Amino acid sequence: MKLRDLDIIVTAPPAPGWGGRYWILVKLTTDDGIVGWGECYASSVGPGAMQAVIRDLFDRYFLDENPENVERLFRRCFSSGFTQRPDLTVMGAFSGLEIACWDILGKSRERPVWALIGGMMNERIRAYTYLYPLPHHPLPDFWISPDMAAQAAADCVARGYTAVKFDPAGPYTMRAGHQPAMSDLSRSVAFCKAIREAVGDKADLLFGTHGQFTTSGAIRMGQAVAPYQPLWFEEPIPPDNIAQMARVAQMQTVPVATGERLTTKAEFGAVLQQGAASILQPALGRSGGIWETKKIATLAEAHNALMAPHLYAGPIEWAANLQFAVSIPNLLIAETIETPFHDALIKGTIRVEEGFVTAPSAPGLGIEVDEALARAHPYTDTGLHLQMQDAPCDYVNDNVFEGGAPPKT
C-alpha cells in the first residue's frame, strides 16, 4: 500500500464560526483506493501559503510511501531542511497528513485507530465545552457578563457537561505580557463566583487566559480566582517562557494547563521537566499527530501529569483527539465544540451524549466526511484562523474580548 494522491480543502464554518475562521482538511488516497482524512491546525500563515507547505511535505516525503511508516515520515518532516527542531507550520502540516495515514490504516484493517495504538483504555471520554452565548444573549455583551456566563454554564450542566471553560480576563494582544487591569481581575472573580453558584459542585471551572500576562500578573490572577477552585489556569503567560510559567505554577494553587500552541515531545517534554504545568493540552492537528502525541502522553504519565486534548478547529481533528483519548491511561478530559456544521461535516458519526463521548467503533477515525459540504463552504476571506489584537490592554475602559474568531457579517 502506497500513498498516491493528496487533496486539500479549506472550508469556512458559517456563523457564528466557533472553531475558527477556517479548517484545513486533507484527503489522502492510496494506490488501492483507500481514503484517509486529516486536519491541519495551523494558522501562522494564511491558508494559501499553508496549502503550499502541505503539498511540499506530501510531494517530498509522503508520495509513494507506505502509510504504516509513521515514525519514518515524522523524522523526515521534523528534520526537513537540516532543522530537527519543532516548527509550528511544518508540524501543523505534518500532523494533518499523519492523522490521514492513521485513518487509512484503520480502514485497511477494519479497526478503529485506538485499536492500533494500544487498544481501549477509556470506554467513554469526558467532554467539556467553552461557554458560548445562548440564542437570547446579545453580542458582544455576553463576553463580559457574569450573569449570562452563569446561564450558559447552567445550560451546559443541564445537557450533561461536567466542566465548562471561559476566559473573561482578555484581551489577547500581540504585545508582550501585561498586568491585568483591575477591572479584568474584578470581572474574572465575578465570572468564577457566578458560574460556581450556577453549577455548584456539578461541574469544574476551566479558567482560560491564553498567555497574555506577565509572570506577576498571572500570579495575581491565579490567586484572585483560586477561592472558586478552578480545575485549571490555562496558559497564564506566553507558552514559550517555560521557566516563568513554572514560577506561576509554584506561586498560586490553581493547576496550570498549557499546550494548544506547542508542538512535539521536545516542547512538551521541557514543560514537564521544569514543572511548568500538570495538565497538557495538545491539539493533535499541530502537536505532531496521533503517534507523536502518544509519546507526549507517555512523558506526561512519567511526570504524573494529565492530558486534556485541545480543540479549536473542525471535527476531523476532534475525531483524532478522541481516538487518542480512548487509548491513554492519563486522560483528564477532552474539549468539544457542538455546532450544526461540525455535526453535519461528519454526518453525525460522533456526538456528545450527556457530557461524554462513547469510544468510536467504526474503522479509522470513526467518521464519515461530507466532502460535498466541505467544498460548498470555501474560505474566501484574508484573515487567519485566529488573530491577536494590535491594541494594548485598556486600563481606562473595560476590555472586551470577542470569543473565538467569528466570520465577517
* pLDDT for residue 406: 52
- Contact between residue 275 and residue 261 where contact means Cβ atoms under 8 Å apart: no
Residue 408 pLDDT > 60? no
Confidence tier at 170 by pLDDT (50, 70, 90): confident
Q: What tens digit of pLDDT does each residue of 91-137 get? A: 999 999 999 999 999 999 999 999 999 999 999 999 999 999 999 99
Instruction: Over range 387-393, report the average pLDDT.
Output: 85
User: Which domains, from first to last, does the chain contain?
Assistant: 115-364 (3.20.20.120)
Place of cell 453535519: 344
* pLDDT for residue 298: 98
Q: What tens digit of pLDDT does each residue of 234-289 get? A: 999 999 999 999 999 999 999 999 999 999 999 999 999 999 999 999 999 999 99
Instruction: Over range 11-19, report the average pLDDT.
Output: 90
Q: Is the pTM of this model over 0.85?
A: yes
Instruction: Give the CB-side neighbour count of residue 154, counting CA atoms within 13 A.
Output: 10
Place of cell 485507530: 113
* pLDDT for residue 68: 98
Residue 405 pLDDT > 60? no
The closest alpha carbon to 319, from 284, 276, 270, belongs to: 284
Rounded to whole angstroms, how far apart are CA atoms 178 and 393?
Answer: 7
Q: Please say whether the dihedral angle defined by the alpha carbons of residues 112, 114, 118 and 121, taken in this order, is positive or negative.
A: negative
Confidence tier at 390 by pLDDT (50, 70, 90): confident
Rounded to whole angstroms, how far apart are CA atoms 7 and 309?
Answer: 26
Residue 407 pLDDT > 70? no
Between residues 405 and 280, which one has the greater pLDDT?
Answer: 280
* pLDDT for residue 16: 83
- Contact between residue 252 and residue 222 where contact means Cβ atoms under 8 Å apart: yes
Average pLDDT, rounded, for the chain: 95
Instruction: Over range 164-175, report the average pLDDT.
Output: 89
Rounded to whole angstroms, how far apart are CA atoms 16 and 152?
Answer: 16
Q: What tens digit of pLDDT does each residue of 28-85 get? A: 999 999 999 999 998 899 999 999 999 999 999 999 999 999 999 999 999 999 999 9
